[in-house]
Structure 1
Amino acid sequence: MQKIKGRKAPFLTAFAGAVSLLAGAAAAQNDSFRDRLPEDEVIYFVLPDRFENGDPANDEGGFGGDRLTHGFDPTHKGFFHGGDLRGLTERLDYIQGLGATAIWLGPIYMNKPVQGSPGAESAGYHGYWITDFTRVDPHFGTNDELAALVNAAHARGMKVYLDIITNHTADVIRYRECLENDCAFRSRADYPWTRRGGLDGEAINEGFLGDEVGSAENFSRLTRPDWAYTPYVPAGEENVKVPAWLNDPIHYHNRGNFGQPGEVGLYGDFAGLDDLFTEDPRVVQGLIDIYGDWIDRYGIDGFRVDTARHVNPEFWQAFIPAMLERARARGIPNFHIFAETYEFEVGPLARFTHLDRFPYVLDFAFQGVAAEVIARGGSTHDLRLLFEQDPAYAGGAATARGNPTFVGNHDMGRFAMFVRDSNPEASEEELLKRVELGHALMMFARGAPTIYYGDEQGFVGLGGDQDARQDMFPSQVERYNGDPLLGTDATTADSNFDPAHPLYRAIAEMTAVRAAEPALRRGDMVVRESVEGPGLFAFSRRLDGREVVVAMNTGAEPLGVNVWTDAASDNWRALQGACPVASSAPGSLALSLEPFAYAVCVSESES
């Protein structure tokens, strides 16, 4: 066992009790896991390539050649490292022991192994460069191994979510007018639907301006997409995409690279990736067929939707109901589908639940405020303002309860990095407490908490994207191995699946409390106290007359506070942290909180 810094023996006793409680809760749910609502889940988000290598024989994906052919180079942070689905299946005990009830897999579909200009290549280890939408990437294993993972998870009462992409495919299409595919975006004003090649070009689609492309009747009037550029598929790649219809450039926008905001966000090639013509009913139905088949074949429990804001709303209005119907037909009543939008304000974020009609969205607004308040010492009033905007979502507070919340991810970086970078003089004890506090806010406030793999082992990272995608199995990347972890003397050069790590233990305690207390999952959320600057933040979760109070101290000084409640009794019991046996009077709860500490208290009588 690795030497662990920080809390030791007293915490181990509490941890053992928490794991026992969690195991009992999971066992009770095994036969009815499909009945759990999205807000009941604790999601564990993992990039399969960086988690565990269960089968070294598939490291090169069967491609042969060198790393620029097969994409495998475990010393380079931008190439495949060897993690796979078999490794994930072998580590289900570890994931379930943390208290996760759902596993969100980064994209597992067949990818173009390597892309990029000469000298700046990287590999599709992340899964977002799809060529074959029907097949598991051979670096990760086989379709049968995905089935084995899903079946093993379901046998434990755990759900499996897939990351899906409808905006684009791998970068295959080239434009004859461009050098090295470096093509500036060409707008509809300069290259309208009615002219091929610009305002002075050949007249096509006369009488049609494309304002209602989304209907089959209107789209049938188009002879083909207006091509601002002349697309072609390089020799040898004519049939690289599956299903076959994806190989025809007619199904893409072909307007050049993603750049400035506006129409380019819908029609441009994101990072040069081939941008699908999602207004075309053929494309809509094709993607419905593709992803519906993953539900039909494997009983997948939910989708995280990549780059959702770069697809037209009419597509989502057709696609989402179709996915929910496929799931219901498969016996999955609570299919969890949520959009990645990269919007940090509630208004723009909520728009996707109204116009695009997403049931849920990844809560980037939560992440932004949590990092500001806990990592950077901002005002806890900002948290109050965040939660008071929950009615902005379609469905209001009920939608907010199912929005996945998170404190860091594979694109922006890890929460521990935000904490460390904002507090360069802080002790390791303070850094650990702040990271734990961020996870406590995520675990006990409304939403479906989402743990980014490795956070529970003290991974920090040196930035976003590739710098936040460390290996859990022994890494050969020097940049990763030189970055100290929190709470342990281990580095990423070691295997990091230690259930005695202080953050793993702390999160496991939280998930056990959450699993045992329905109010912390499904209850209304009422903000009770907040302050200008760091310090007290308190809220209640209420369900069927039962009240749980969560109080946090985001500041560096101890607090003695009174929190107002709806409880008619002065009898309280601690679920986590220090709670008084009795309060001074009904309607008021007296608490003492150490710096960066929290308490979870339940009233012993109904409100």
Structure 2
Amino acid sequence: MLPSLVLVSLLASFQPAFAATAEQWRTRSIYQIIVDRFALEPGAVVNECVLSEQTWCGGTWKGILKKLDYIQSAGFTAIWISPVNQNYQGPKSAYGDPYHGYWSADISQLNDKFGTADDLKALSAEVHRRNMYLMVDVVVNNVMATSLTPDYSTYMFKDAKYYHPYCAVDFSNITSEQQCWLGDTKVPLPDLNTENSEVIAKYSDWISDLVQTYSIDGLRIDAAKHVRKAFWPAFAKSAGVFCMGEVFDPLVPYATDFQGSDALDSVLNYPLYYALVAAFTLPGAQNMSALIDNFDQSKTGYSDTTVLGNFLENQDLPRWHNLSVDPQSLYNAMTVTFLTEGIPIVYYGQEQGFSGAADPYNREPLWPSNYTNTTSYQLMTTLNQLRTYMINTTDWATQKTNVITTNQNGIALQKGEVVSILTNIGAPPQNFTYTALKSPWPQGTVTIDVVGCRQFVVASGGYLEVEYTKGGVPVVLAQPSSLNGSGLCGSTMEALHANTLPGQTVAQSSALDRAVVPSLIALLLMAASLGLW
């Protein structure tokens, strides 16, 4: 007989993906795509994609459809694609062409640069055939212009009365942020008057039609904090699907204001991103306290941490590898985004180690990578596999993260039946030991590191010695009994814990092991019991 949680998960998989709720989305992991830069259609001519030219490189919805295997094979269960609506059409602007999709014009039309309505419907249908979800980016706050006196007839809202009068944004004033124009005088972004009842009604009709026509499961809402919060509940109700807003701010109290019944289901977790940068980048502040502070504030601030969008990269930020030269910093920070509360989001190219700086250099074409099965790709696959299995067999999706212990160089986290031990020491050899505490498992307990497929046994006194022989790799531990049937580290766990002494390790080779610089680093984790076993 199947465990009840497994049965519920299997039954859920047969429900239509359309109109997915926050409860359904919290079980997903998302792969983010800039349509123009992800995949060319089969047979397309490959032209040089010069990032500095800020122009079209040729990616389409058909291209995405043909490369869904690449995404799904890494364990992702949803895709987020850049805006699908018509953008600015005219001579090249001071900042290039609208290849990214965020320079809205008449949003009642599709962007024919990316394909036809049938192409988008076909992509949606294939995503759902694979039991994946489709999230679409939408721009509601503004349109794009090339002067301060635009031709309003080119937009869905065709009269100046539907827009706030021009003013430059004062980012220290919330009213200014929500009523003045983003952009600058070269490429201004006329701001919609979302207090206007006609604007509210037309936006509600538009989003309802878009979602239903293309069977969209969720929305990522661009510049959500630049629209008054009171606008969002009615908009989200009309959409009828999960809504995640962009609140580009490092402070938890500001981000939390846009989540809840009086706002949106979720927000992108920018405060966590900034904390991860502070804690893990090399060279960097290596401020692990920033991460602890973020966890503490998040617990009391957000209405629901389990649906926040966790990420390390996106189209508005420099690539992680641009900020940090050490690959292990990426692997450790990435593990946090997957194995704590929230929905993990990976920006296309993160798995290929792209290193572009800020816009436009963080919008590289993916096809020159040949969609290689890299070390990062393999780690994402493992983390997705573990996370999905735990969600399907336990109440992992709603379980909270607890900090077991921490110091300036590392942190040990526990979520459900999984302990993650993470460090910012990087790949080179270091002498590094955690402060001695009691283990969460009793003496003799066998645990498996699912990243390196190594075995660790709790020694006498409750001590658990976690040995790093390949640099500061992330270590993710679980008991074999909680992994049976997962396919992780081999389907038969019994062989791993036969004839093994406390403290002894048995390792299988992995791509992550082979990719890092060998070192002799020992980490003692003696974590206070949390009463889970």
Same-fold status (TM-score > 0.5): yes
Report Cα offsets for 1:261-284 as digits up to 9, x if no partner: 313211111111111000011111
Are 1:96 and 2:72 matched, yes or no?
yes
1:138 alignment partner AA: D
How do 1:189-338 residues align onto structure 2 when only pairs under 5 Å count?
234=151, 239-242=153-156, 246-262=157-173, 263-271=175-183, 272-323=188-239, 327=240, 335-338=241-244
Q: Contact conserved, 1:27 with 1:156, CA < 8 A, in 2? A: no
Which residue of 72, 84, 103 corresponds with 1:129?
A: 103
1:33/1:578 CA distance change after superposition, 3 Å:
farther
Single out whichever of 281-290 and 251-260 deviates more from structure 2: 251-260
Q: Contact conserved, 1:43 with 1:450, CA < 8 A, in 2? A: yes
Report Cα offsets for 1:297-327 as digits up to 9, x if no partner: 122111111111111122113222333xxx3
3-state secondary structure, aligned to 1:417: helix
Give the Å deviation of 1:390. 2.1
Q: CA RMSD in A?
A: 2.9
1:517/1:135 CA distance change after superposition, 3 Å:
same
1:528/1:85 CA distance change after superposition, 3 Å:
same
Distance 2:460 2:197 in 1: 63
In structure 1, what is the equivalent of residue 520 of structure 2? none
Distance 1:32 1:355 in 2: 25
Which residue of 459, 462, 465 corresponds with 1:590?
A: 465
Report Cα offsets for 1:322-366 as digits up to 9, x if no partner: 33xxx3xxxxxxx43111111111111112125952221100011
1:30/1:354 CA distance change after superposition, 3 Å:
closer
Which residue of 419, 425, 428 corresponds with 2:324?
A: 419
Give the Å deviation of 1:388. 1.5
Are 1:576 and 2:492 matched, yes or no?
no
Which residue of 378, 391, 400 corresponds with 1:505?
A: 378
Q: Contact conserved, 1:377 with 1:554, CA < 8 A, in 2? A: no
Distance 2:461 2:109 in 1: 60
In structure 1, what is the equivalent of residue 523 of structure 2? none
Report Cα offsets for 1:408-457 as digits up to 9, x if no partner: 2111111111113xxxxxxxxxx222222221221112211110101111
Distance 2:263 2:171 in 1: 25
Gaps of 5+ in 1: 1-25, 61-71, 173-179, 182-231, 328-334, 421-430, 474-493
1:241 alignment partner AA: Y
Q: Contact conserved, 1:86 with 1:149, CA < 8 A, in 2? A: yes
In structure 1, what is the equivalent of residue 270 of structure 2? 364
Give the Å deviation of 1:586. 8.1
How do 1:384-533 residues align onto structure 2 when only pairs under 5 Å count?
384-395=292-303, 399-420=304-325, 431-461=326-356, 463-473=357-367, 494-499=368-373, 501-518=374-391, 521-531=397-407, 533=408
Give the Å deviation of 1:567. 4.5
Identical pairs, percent: 23
Report Cα offsets for 1:174-225 as digits up to 9, x if no partner: xxxxxx53xxxxxxxxxxxxxxxxxxxxxxxxxxxxxxxxxxxxxxxxxxxx
**TM-score normalised to the size of structure 2?**
0.79
Distance 2:51 2:223 in 1: 29
1:135/1:589 CA distance change after superposition, 3 Å:
farther
2:313 alignment partner AA: G
1:37 alignment partner AA: Q
**TM-score normalised to the size of structure 1?**
0.69
Distance 1:143 1:247 in 2: 23
In structure 1, what is the equivalent of residue 248 of structure 2? 342
Q: Contact conserved, 1:167 with 1:310, CA < 8 A, in 2? A: yes
1:505/1:354 CA distance change after superposition, 3 Å:
closer
Report Cα offsets for 1:485-504 as digits up to 9, x if no partner: xxxxxxxxx343112x2211
Distance 2:286 2:305 in 1: 23
Q: Contact conserved, 2:315 with 2:363, CA < 8 A, in 1? A: yes
Gaps of 5+ in 2: 1-8, 483-531
Distance 1:155 1:103 in 2: 13
Q: Contact conserved, 2:456 with 2:464, CA < 8 A, in 1? A: no
Q: Contact conserved, 2:405 with 2:411, CA < 8 A, in 1? A: yes
Give the Å deviation of 1:121. 4.6
How do 1:119-198 residues align onto structure 2 when only pairs under 5 Å count?
120-171=94-145, 181=148
1:394/1:433 CA distance change after superposition, 3 Å:
closer
